[in-house]
Chain A
Amino acid sequence: DAGITQSPRHKVTETGTPVTLRCHQTENHRYMYWYRQDPGHGLRLIHYSYGVKDTDKGEVSDGYSVSRSKTEDFLLTLESATSSQTSVYFCAISLGLAASHTDTQYFGPGTRLTVL
Protein backbone atom coordinates (compact mmCIF):
# COMPACT_ATOMS: atom_id res chain seq x y z
CA ASP A 1 0.00 0.00 0.00
CA ALA A 2 3.09 2.26 -0.33
CA GLY A 3 2.82 3.26 3.33
CA ILE A 4 0.29 6.07 2.91
CA THR A 5 -2.03 7.04 5.73
CA GLN A 6 -4.60 9.82 5.88
CA SER A 7 -6.10 11.46 8.93
CA PRO A 8 -8.77 11.89 9.92
CA ARG A 9 -10.65 9.26 7.94
CA HIS A 10 -13.99 10.94 8.53
CA LYS A 11 -14.83 14.49 9.55
CA VAL A 12 -17.99 16.52 9.89
CA THR A 13 -17.59 20.26 10.24
CA GLU A 14 -19.59 23.44 9.86
CA THR A 15 -19.45 26.06 7.16
CA GLY A 16 -16.83 28.69 7.83
CA THR A 17 -14.57 26.60 10.04
CA PRO A 18 -10.97 25.78 9.12
CA VAL A 19 -10.12 22.17 8.39
CA THR A 20 -6.76 20.46 7.91
CA LEU A 21 -6.32 17.03 6.42
CA ARG A 22 -3.07 15.15 6.78
CA CYS A 23 -1.34 12.75 4.44
CA HIS A 24 1.61 10.80 5.79
CA GLN A 25 4.00 8.54 3.90
CA THR A 26 6.73 6.37 5.33
CA GLU A 27 9.08 6.00 2.36
CA ASN A 28 10.35 9.55 1.62
CA HIS A 29 8.91 9.86 -1.86
CA ARG A 30 9.35 13.27 -3.40
CA TYR A 31 6.01 13.76 -5.17
CA MET A 32 2.70 13.91 -3.30
CA TYR A 33 -0.78 14.86 -4.51
CA TRP A 34 -4.19 15.83 -3.17
CA TYR A 35 -7.31 14.90 -5.16
CA ARG A 36 -10.99 15.25 -4.44
CA GLN A 37 -13.54 12.72 -5.63
CA ASP A 38 -17.11 13.72 -6.43
CA PRO A 39 -19.89 11.81 -8.19
CA GLY A 40 -19.94 12.60 -11.88
CA HIS A 41 -16.50 14.22 -11.76
CA GLY A 42 -14.13 11.38 -11.00
CA LEU A 43 -10.97 12.55 -9.26
CA ARG A 44 -9.65 16.07 -9.72
CA LEU A 45 -6.24 17.33 -8.69
CA ILE A 46 -6.23 20.05 -6.02
CA HIS A 47 -2.54 20.62 -5.33
CA TYR A 48 0.66 18.68 -5.57
CA SER A 49 4.12 18.86 -4.07
CA TYR A 50 7.51 18.06 -5.55
CA GLY A 51 9.54 18.46 -2.40
CA VAL A 52 9.71 20.16 0.97
CA LYS A 53 8.16 23.62 0.64
CA ASP A 54 7.67 23.07 -3.11
CA THR A 55 4.02 22.98 -4.14
CA ASP A 56 1.91 23.85 -7.14
CA LYS A 57 -1.75 24.22 -8.00
CA GLY A 58 -3.91 21.66 -9.69
CA GLU A 59 -7.20 21.86 -11.53
CA VAL A 60 -9.43 22.80 -8.56
CA SER A 61 -7.20 24.69 -6.12
CA ASP A 62 -9.52 27.58 -5.21
CA GLY A 63 -10.38 27.53 -1.52
CA TYR A 64 -7.54 25.16 -0.63
CA SER A 65 -3.98 25.63 0.55
CA VAL A 66 -1.24 23.08 1.20
CA SER A 67 1.97 22.84 3.12
CA ARG A 68 4.87 20.45 3.19
CA SER A 69 7.40 21.15 5.91
CA LYS A 70 8.65 17.56 6.04
CA THR A 71 9.08 15.02 3.28
CA GLU A 72 6.68 12.60 4.91
CA ASP A 73 3.75 14.94 5.53
CA PHE A 74 1.55 16.83 3.07
CA LEU A 75 -1.22 18.91 4.62
CA LEU A 76 -4.35 20.15 2.90
CA THR A 77 -6.15 23.10 4.53
CA LEU A 78 -9.58 24.48 3.88
CA GLU A 79 -9.29 27.95 5.38
CA SER A 80 -13.05 28.46 5.61
CA ALA A 81 -14.95 25.33 4.67
CA THR A 82 -18.00 25.56 2.40
CA SER A 83 -20.66 22.99 1.58
CA SER A 84 -19.24 22.68 -1.94
CA GLN A 85 -16.11 21.21 -0.38
CA THR A 86 -18.01 18.20 0.93
CA SER A 87 -16.16 15.40 -0.80
CA VAL A 88 -13.84 12.46 -0.41
CA TYR A 89 -10.22 13.54 -0.40
CA PHE A 90 -7.42 11.27 -1.55
CA CYS A 91 -3.72 11.66 -1.14
CA ALA A 92 -1.36 9.99 -3.60
CA ILE A 93 2.35 9.57 -4.10
CA SER A 94 4.45 9.01 -7.19
CA LEU A 95 7.31 6.59 -6.70
CA GLY A 96 9.74 7.99 -9.25
CA LEU A 97 12.29 10.62 -8.29
CA ALA A 98 11.33 12.84 -11.21
CA ALA A 99 7.60 12.01 -11.44
CA SER A 100 7.83 10.71 -14.97
CA HIS A 101 4.63 10.33 -16.95
CA THR A 102 5.15 6.61 -16.76
CA ASP A 103 5.21 6.44 -12.97
CA THR A 104 2.35 4.86 -11.10
CA GLN A 105 0.59 6.86 -8.44
CA TYR A 106 -0.37 5.10 -5.24
CA PHE A 107 -3.37 6.29 -3.30
CA GLY A 108 -4.20 6.53 0.36
CA PRO A 109 -7.48 5.28 1.86
CA GLY A 110 -9.22 8.66 1.66
CA THR A 111 -10.87 11.13 4.03
CA ARG A 112 -14.60 11.68 3.87
CA LEU A 113 -15.35 15.32 4.69
CA THR A 114 -18.84 16.65 5.25
CA VAL A 115 -19.39 20.40 5.56
CA LEU A 116 -22.78 21.28 7.03
Chain B
Amino acid sequence: AQSVTQLDSQVPVFEEAPVELRCNYSSSVSVYLFWYVQYPNQGLQLLLKYLSGSTLVKGINGFEAEFNKSQTSFHLRKPSVHISDTAEYFCAVSSTGGGNKLTFGTGTQLKVEL
Protein backbone atom coordinates (compact mmCIF):
# COMPACT_ATOMS: atom_id res chain seq x y z
CA ALA B 1 0.00 0.00 0.00
CA GLN B 2 1.10 3.51 -0.71
CA SER B 3 1.36 6.33 1.77
CA VAL B 4 2.22 10.00 1.66
CA THR B 5 3.85 12.08 4.38
CA GLN B 6 3.75 15.84 4.60
CA LEU B 7 5.81 16.65 7.64
CA ASP B 8 5.06 20.37 7.75
CA SER B 9 1.51 21.16 8.78
CA GLN B 10 2.09 24.91 8.48
CA VAL B 11 4.65 26.96 6.59
CA PRO B 12 4.76 30.73 7.12
CA VAL B 13 6.69 32.76 4.58
CA PHE B 14 7.03 36.40 3.61
CA GLU B 15 5.82 37.60 0.26
CA GLU B 16 8.40 37.35 -2.54
CA ALA B 17 10.42 34.79 -0.59
CA PRO B 18 11.00 31.27 -1.95
CA VAL B 19 9.15 28.32 -0.47
CA GLU B 20 9.46 24.56 -0.43
CA LEU B 21 6.68 22.24 0.72
CA ARG B 22 7.87 18.76 1.47
CA CYS B 23 6.30 15.48 0.44
CA ASN B 24 7.62 11.98 0.91
CA TYR B 25 5.94 8.83 -0.33
CA SER B 26 6.25 5.12 0.16
CA SER B 27 5.49 2.63 -2.54
CA SER B 28 6.90 -0.62 -3.77
CA VAL B 29 5.85 -0.05 -7.36
CA SER B 30 5.74 2.71 -9.92
CA VAL B 31 4.21 5.88 -8.58
CA TYR B 32 2.22 8.70 -10.00
CA LEU B 33 2.34 11.79 -7.83
CA PHE B 34 0.15 14.86 -7.64
CA TRP B 35 0.06 18.21 -5.89
CA TYR B 36 -3.32 19.81 -5.32
CA VAL B 37 -4.13 23.23 -3.88
CA GLN B 38 -7.18 24.18 -1.86
CA TYR B 39 -8.07 27.84 -1.45
CA PRO B 40 -10.29 28.77 1.50
CA ASN B 41 -13.81 27.34 1.23
CA GLN B 42 -13.15 25.77 -2.15
CA GLY B 43 -12.53 22.33 -3.59
CA LEU B 44 -9.15 21.03 -4.62
CA GLN B 45 -7.54 21.86 -7.93
CA LEU B 46 -4.54 20.28 -9.59
CA LEU B 47 -1.23 22.16 -9.44
CA LEU B 48 0.92 19.58 -11.20
CA LYS B 49 1.53 15.88 -11.58
CA TYR B 50 4.43 13.54 -12.18
CA LEU B 51 3.76 10.59 -14.44
CA SER B 52 7.12 9.69 -15.97
CA GLY B 53 10.03 11.24 -17.83
CA SER B 54 11.63 14.47 -16.63
CA THR B 55 11.89 14.60 -12.88
CA LEU B 56 11.24 18.34 -12.82
CA VAL B 57 7.57 19.07 -13.31
CA LYS B 58 6.19 22.54 -13.89
CA GLY B 59 2.68 23.42 -12.87
CA ILE B 60 0.33 26.34 -12.72
CA ASN B 61 0.93 29.64 -10.91
CA GLY B 62 4.73 29.31 -11.10
CA PHE B 63 4.97 26.16 -8.98
CA GLU B 64 7.27 23.27 -9.78
CA ALA B 65 8.12 19.96 -8.15
CA GLU B 66 11.00 17.56 -8.40
CA PHE B 67 10.59 13.81 -8.28
CA ASN B 68 13.47 12.12 -6.47
CA LYS B 69 13.19 8.35 -6.57
CA SER B 70 16.20 7.64 -4.35
CA GLN B 71 14.84 9.89 -1.60
CA THR B 72 11.20 8.99 -2.32
CA SER B 73 10.32 12.66 -2.35
CA PHE B 74 8.24 15.01 -4.45
CA HIS B 75 8.81 18.46 -2.96
CA LEU B 76 6.91 21.48 -4.24
CA ARG B 77 8.74 24.77 -4.80
CA LYS B 78 8.09 28.32 -5.85
CA PRO B 79 10.89 30.87 -6.19
CA SER B 80 8.80 33.88 -5.14
CA VAL B 81 5.43 33.59 -3.42
CA HIS B 82 2.53 35.98 -3.50
CA ILE B 83 -0.19 36.71 -0.96
CA SER B 84 -2.61 34.90 -3.25
CA ASP B 85 -0.66 31.64 -2.77
CA THR B 86 -2.01 31.39 0.77
CA ALA B 87 -3.82 28.06 0.72
CA GLU B 88 -3.56 24.44 1.78
CA TYR B 89 -1.46 22.16 -0.36
CA PHE B 90 -1.92 18.41 -0.62
CA CYS B 91 0.43 15.83 -2.01
CA ALA B 92 -1.17 12.63 -3.32
CA VAL B 93 -0.22 9.32 -4.88
CA SER B 94 -2.32 7.23 -7.21
CA SER B 95 -2.90 3.69 -6.01
CA THR B 96 -1.75 0.62 -7.87
CA GLY B 97 -5.16 -0.99 -7.80
CA GLY B 98 -7.90 -0.16 -10.25
CA GLY B 99 -10.02 2.93 -10.14
CA ASN B 100 -7.36 5.65 -9.87
CA LYS B 101 -7.84 5.95 -6.14
CA LEU B 102 -5.80 8.71 -4.57
CA THR B 103 -4.03 8.57 -1.22
CA PHE B 104 -3.49 12.05 0.18
CA GLY B 105 -1.05 13.49 2.64
CA THR B 106 -2.34 15.45 5.62
CA GLY B 107 -1.76 18.77 3.92
CA THR B 108 0.47 21.82 4.44
CA GLN B 109 -1.03 25.22 5.17
CA LEU B 110 1.01 27.88 3.40
CA LYS B 111 0.57 31.31 4.89
CA VAL B 112 2.13 34.17 2.98
CA GLU B 113 2.67 37.34 5.00
CA LEU B 114 3.52 40.88 3.98
What is the interface of chain A, defined by CB distance below 8 A to chain B?
4, 31, 33, 40-45, 48, 50, 56, 58-59, 90, 92, 94, 96, 99-110
Scoring B residues 78 to 114 as 1 if CB is less than 8 Å from chain A, else 0, what string do you get? 0000000000001010111011111111110000000
* Contact of A42 with B32 at beta-carbon distance under 8 Å, contacts A31-B99, A110-B43 already known: no
Could you say which residues of chain A place their CB within 8 Å of the CB of B6? 42
Whether B104 pairs with A44 at a CB distance below 8 angstroms is yes
Task: Select one of A94, A102, A109 contacting B43, CB under 8 A.
Answer: A109
* Contacting residues, chain A, for B106 (C-beta < 8 A): 40-42
Contacting pair B90 A43 (CB below 8 A): yes
Q: How far is the CA of A109 from the CA of B92 in the complex (A)?
A: 19
Inter-chain contact B99/A56, CB cutoff 8 Å: yes
**Contact in complex: B46, A104 (CB < 8 Å):** yes
Q: How far is the CB of B49 from chain A (nearest CB, A)?
A: 7
How many interface residues does chain B have, given as a range?
20 to 34
Known: A90-B43, A107-B44, A107-B45. A101 touches B104 (CB 8 A): no
Asked whether A108 and B43 contact (CB < 8 A) given A42-B105, A43-B90, A101-B32, the answer is: yes
Complex formed: what's the CA distance from A41 to B5 in Å? 11
How far is it, in angstroms, between the C-alpha of A103 and the C-alpha of B36 when the chains are bound?
13
B residues less than 8 Å from A31 (CB atoms): 99-100
Taking A42-B90, A42-B106 as given, write out 5 further A-B residue pairs in contact, using a Cβ cutoff of 8 Å, ordered by the A residue number: A45-B103, A56-B99, A96-B100, A109-B43, A110-B42
Known contacts A42-B104, A101-B32; is-contact A48 B99 (Cβ 8 Å): yes
A86 to B64 Cα, complex, angstroms: 34
Contact in complex: B101, A58 (CB < 8 Å): yes
Q: Which single residue of chain B is at the shortest CB-CB distance from A4?
A: B43
Q: How far is the CA of A58 from the CA of B103 in the complex (A)?
A: 10
